Amino acid sequence: MDLKEVDRLSEEIRSKYHELEKELHGSTWSVEEDALAFLTDAGFVGRLTMGNQGRWPSENRQMLPSKIGDVYGSLLSLLKEWI
């Protein structure tokens, strides 16, 4: 999969998140909320990576690829706010 395809899929996923945010809260997340989500997911990536290396207790090792995807999607979302 190339980066254009990843970007397209990220946009589709983000669109679905926007729908969920509107349904639950009446509006989409602010840039600040997107930034906080990025930081939270980045922390999860760190812990899951440590868990995969046996340096941190983790029962969710299989979540690492999806959390890396979440971080990537959050970064794209934040980047698009500035370009």
pLDDT tens readout for residues 5-42: 877 888 898 899 889 999 999 999 888 998 999 999 99
- pLDDT > 90: percent of the chain: 45
Residue type, 29: W
Residue 58 has what pLDDT? Answer: 83
Q: Does the pLDDT at position 83 exceed 80?
A: no
Sign of the alpha-carbon dihedral angle for 42, 44, 50, 53: negative
Q: CB neighbours (10 Å) of residue 74?
A: 21
Q: In 3D, which of 76, 67, 73 has the Cα closest to residue 47? A: 67
Residue 17 contacts residue 37 (beta carbons within 8 Å): no
Sign of the alpha-carbon dihedral angle for 68, 74, 80, 82: negative
Q: Does the pLDDT at position 49 exceed 80?
A: yes
Residue 36 has what pLDDT? Answer: 94
